[in-house]
Amino acid sequence: MKIMKKILSLVLVSALGGILTLGAYKLFLEEEKTVVVNAQPTTPTFLPTSTFSNTALKAYENSDFTTAAENTVNAVVHVKNTATISGPTSFQDLIHGRSVERRQQVGAGSGVIIDPSGYIITNNHVIKDAYELSVTLNNNKTYIAKVIGKDPESDIAVLKIDAEEDLPVVHFGDSDNVKIGEWVLAVGNPFNLTSTVTAGIISAKARDLSGVSSQSFLQTDAAVNPGNSGGALVNTRGELIGINTAITSQTGSYVGYSFAVPSNLAKKIFMDIIEYGNTQNGILGVSILNKETEEATKLGVNDIEGVYVSEVTKKSGAEKAGIKSGDIIKKLDHVEISKFADLSGYIKTKSPNDVVNVEILRNDQLLTIPVTISNKDIIVIEFMNMELKDLSNAFKEKYEIPNGVIITKTSNKWLYSKLGISENYIITGINDTKIESIQDISKIKEKYGDDILENIERLEYLNRNLEKKEVIFR
C-alpha cells in the first residue's frame, strides 16, 4: 500500500507540473490568434480537376504492353555483320614494304521482318562493309541474308532471307499520326541480348540531329543501346512506327533519348528499292528561310506559325501550282508544318508525281493548293562523279556571284587530290561555256556522252573562299 501511494503521488505531481507548464506557455509565450467566423455562407472555391479516377492516371497499371511485345519479338531479328578490315600500318611496315594484315571484325544489330517471304528492314550502318550477313530469328534459326538495296542518306537497308515457311511480321503503322506523349516499345538486341523490350514515350517529332534540317527523326525516351540499331519502335497495338537508329550520348550508351526513322519513310524506301532498285526522291520545289537569321528577323518570320517560302524552284511542281515567294506553308495534307524538318520529313515519304495538298497563308488568307511532287533531277545533276545543284538567287545576291553551280557531293578523288575540289566549290565555266545552271551541265553531258572526260579541256571554279581558279587539262 505504501508503494502504491508513492506511485500515485508521483503521477499527481507530474500531472500538476505539466498543467502548470502548459498554463505558463499559454499565458506568457503563445502569440494571440484571432479566429473570425463568417456568419454568411461563402461560395465554395472550385479548382479544375480530372473526372477520371486516380487509378486511370496510373499508366503502369492501365497500359498493357504484353500483346504488342509478344507480337513484335518474334519478328525482330538479330543481324550479324562479318567484315574484313585492315590493321594499323606501322612505320616498319612502310619501310619494309610489308602488306598490312587483314582481319575479321564482327558487328551486330537488329532488323524487322516486314514481309512473310523474308524481307527485312534494318539500318544501313548495321550492314555496312559486310562480306557476310547472317540473321537469327527469335526461335534461334539462323539464315544467310543478302542485301537487296540500301539508302545511306536515310540509313535504311533492305535484306532478304529464304525460309521454308512464312515468317512472322510487324505491320506498318502511320508514323504521321504518332502523338507526343504516346507510349511506345523499342524491341531489339542490345549488347547481343536477344529479344529485349523497353518502354517509353514519344518525346518529340521531326527531330533533326544534323543541323541542316535534312533529318526528321522520332525521338523517344525508351532505352536504346548499341545493338538496338535496326530494331522496331512500335505503338501499344504492335504497329511499326519507326526503325531505331541513333542515340545521343557522351558514353556511347543510352542516357535518356534515342531516335528512330519514321515508319512512313522506311516503308517508302522499302517499296522504292523493291520496285526500282533505288530510292525515288521527290521535291516540293521551295526554299525555306531559316528562322533566327538576320533576314528572318527583318521580315518578322521568327514569330510566324509555319515556314516562310523564300524562293520557288524553276520548273518545279510548286512553281507550276502557283506557290510564291512570301507564302507561309502551314500544312502538307493533314500534317502541320512548324519547321523545315516537318516539311522535309513529310516530302521524303512521297514519290515523284504524287500530289500533296499544301495549305498556305498569303495576304492573311488561307489557301489550299495541290502540288505535284517533282523529281529531284530538276535540281541536281550527276557530273564527273559529283552532284551539282543550282545556286539560289539569294546566295548569288549575297556573295555577288553572277553564275555557277555548287558541288553538293563528290566522290571524284582525282579532282580532290590534284586540285582540292570538294563540296561547296562552285563550277563557273567548262571549256568555253559559262555555266549558269545545271541545264548547261546537262547540255555538255549530251554533247560529249561517254567521252566527256577526254573532252574537258578547261575548268573554271570558285573555292570555298570564293576565290577564282582556273585549270587547263591540255
List active site positions.
125, 155, 229
Do residues 403 and 433 make contact, with C-beta atoms less than 8 angstroms apart?
A: no
E strand spans, 66-211: 76-86, 102-113, 119-123, 130-136, 142-151, 156-160, 183-188, 196-207
DSSP string covering 399-458: HT--S-EEEEEE--HHHHHHH---TT-EEEEETTEE--SHHHHHHHHHHHGGGHHHH--E
Q: Taking Cα atoms as reference points, which of 332, 170, 193 lies closest to residue 243?
A: 170
Which cell goes with 433?
561555256
Residue 385: φ, ψ to 5°: 60, 30
Outline where DSSP puts E strands in 152-182.
Answer: 156-160
Please give the DSSP secondary-structure letter assigned to residue 172: B
Residue 425 near residue 467 (C-beta atoms within 8 A): no
Indicate the helix (H) or strand (E) that contains 276.
Answer: helix 263-276
Q: Report CA-CA distances (Å) from 389 to 191, 241, 385, 406, 442.
A: 42, 33, 13, 5, 12
Other Cβ atoms closer than 10 A to 437:
17
Distance CA 441, CA 378 (A): 12
C-alpha cell at 97: 614494304
In sequence order, which residues have a C-beta less than 8 Å from that of residue 224 and are 6 or more positions away? 186, 188, 190, 198, 231, 244, 247, 254, 258
Q: How far apart are CA 93 and CA 354, in angstroms?
A: 57
Tell which residue, 136, 272, 259, 141, has the closest CA to residue 200: 259
Q: What 3-state class would DSSP assign to 12?
A: helix
